[in-house]
Amino acid sequence: MVFKPALIFTVLAALCLTGCGPQEPPLSPEATAFKQEIGSILRSMQQSLTEPVVRGDIPAIDAVLKRFSKETHNICIDCPYRSGVLNKDGMLLTSYPKNEFIGRNFSTYKTVSEPLQKQKIIQRQIFQADGAKIYYISAPLIRDNKAAGVVILALTPDDIDKKWRLSEKEFLALNLNTP
């Protein structure tokens, strides 16, 4: 039996295109809606916050966060809208609403270090000191192909469940880096 190189190449190419590489599992309608709404918010925040973070302009960052709190008031049911902005060193520059952690270094926390290092949006669950669980979505602020900082949104498990009807597993498995 004689094998023709062109035929072998065609078969291998077809197999590779259909079976190679990670494929994102199909999303539920709820996950699709969540991904579209939160993805749109994050992209807008990234675009609006990068330059003020690079300049260290806290009043400008505060103005952006306040504007987004009004535009995104419907992403939460059970939580007050919360967001934070950190610089490239993991220092919390400001938050909305303001909190006592401003000025603290969070560079060792994966919710900060991963988006800075990998330049990708990540989501995590965090247990607070009182045992309450909070979900964080962290998006890098990129300028000139370098992470200049991170913007973080906080949501409660009830918001993920009641508003979005997402399970924890589905929320944590979402890839917010793709449209």
Residue 4, burial from CB neighbour count under 10 angstroms (0-12, 13-18, 19+) = exposed
H helices of 56-147, where?
Answer: 58-71, 110-118
Q: Which of 133, 141, 142 is nearest to 172 (CA)?
A: 133
Average pLDDT, the chain: 86
Q: How far apart are the first and last CA of the chain?
A: 47
C-alpha pair distances (Å), 108 with each of 83, 114, 132, 171: 19, 9, 21, 23
Q: What is the mean pLDDT of residues 30-48?
A: 93
- All domains in the chain, ordered by first residue: 28-173 (3.30.450.20)
- pLDDT digit string, tens, across residues 125-176: 999 889 989 999 999 999 999 999 999 999 888 888 888 899 999 999 999 9
Question: Is the preceding peptide bond at 97 cis, omega within 30 degrees of 0?
Answer: yes
State how far the Cα of 84 lies from the Cα of 97, in Å rounded to an integer: 9
pLDDT for the residue numbered 163: 84
CB atoms within 10 A of CB 85: 25
Q: Is the pLDDT of residue 98 over 70?
A: yes
pLDDT for the residue numbered 11: 45
Q: Which DSSP symbol is given to 120?
A: S
Q: Is the pLDDT of residue 2 over 70?
A: no
- pLDDT digit string, tens, across residues 9-30: 444 444 444 445 556 568 889 9
State how far the Cα of 57 lies from the Cα of 27, in Å rounded to an integer: 39
User: Residue 108: helix, strand or coil by DSSP?
Assistant: coil
